[in-house]
């Protein structure tokens, strides 16, 4: 049905901007759009009336020589200042400079380039129909999943040895 940016998109930039603005200004406002995660995206399809919603996530790391190149790309894509409920006060040069320093300090790779994460959530759903599979009643299984897979069952709190 479609694809959207997911929750981990631009996480490096978000972290650097929040920390820089807090350090320089004593407080921070959101400068990067919030993005829906896969569960929310599938839930939206279900609320819209689609059956059997599925969300698949791919993460792409784009590498830049400097984080300012990422900001230029975002501006060219029209992806800046999109939040309606954002601070109308422009970001100061000091905040931007500190954010770029933090980005490089925290995220630069061995070759000096910096990554920008883009999480892509692809969603699929179907029009409801009586022929679609229906979930079974809880507890109606005739075999344990661990037995079917030939593995030893572990509780969620146990760690494999």
Domains in the chain, ordered, with CATH?
A: 2-129 (3.40.50.150)
β 51-64/114-126 pair status: antiparallel
For residue 46, pLDDT beyond 80: yes
Name the band, by pLDDT with cuts 50, 70 and 90, for residue 157.
confident
CA distance 128 to 116: 38
Name the band, by pLDDT with cuts 50, 70 and 90, for residue 95.
very high
For residue 161, pLDDT beyond 80: no
pTM for the model stands at 0.75
121 beta partners: 4, 57
3-class SS at 60?
strand
For residue 86, pLDDT beyond 80: no
The answer to whether 122 and 2 are in contact (CB under 8 A) is: yes
Measured on CA atoms in the order 39, 42, 47, 51, is the torsion positive or negative? negative
């Amino acid at each position: 049905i479609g694809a959207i940016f997911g929750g981990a998109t631009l996480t490096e930039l978000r972290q650097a901007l929040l920390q820089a603005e807090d350090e320089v200004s004593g407080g921070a406002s959101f400068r990067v759009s919030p993005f829906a995660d896969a569960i929310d995206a599938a839930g939206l399809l279900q609320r819209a009336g689609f059956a059997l919603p599925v969300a698949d996530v791919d993460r792409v790391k784009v590498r830049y020589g400097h984080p300012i190149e990422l900001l230029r790309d975002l501006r060219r894509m029209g992806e800046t200042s999109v939040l309606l409920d954002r601070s109308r006060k422009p970001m100061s040069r000091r905040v931007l400079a500190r954010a770029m320093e933090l980005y490089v300090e925290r995220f630069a790779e061995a070759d000096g380039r910096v990554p920008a994460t883009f999480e892509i959530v692809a969603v699929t759903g179907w029009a409801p129909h009586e022929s679609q599979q229906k979930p079974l009643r809880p507890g109606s299984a005739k075999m344990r999943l661990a037995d079917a897979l030939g593995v030893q069952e572990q509780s969620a709190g146990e760690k494999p040895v």
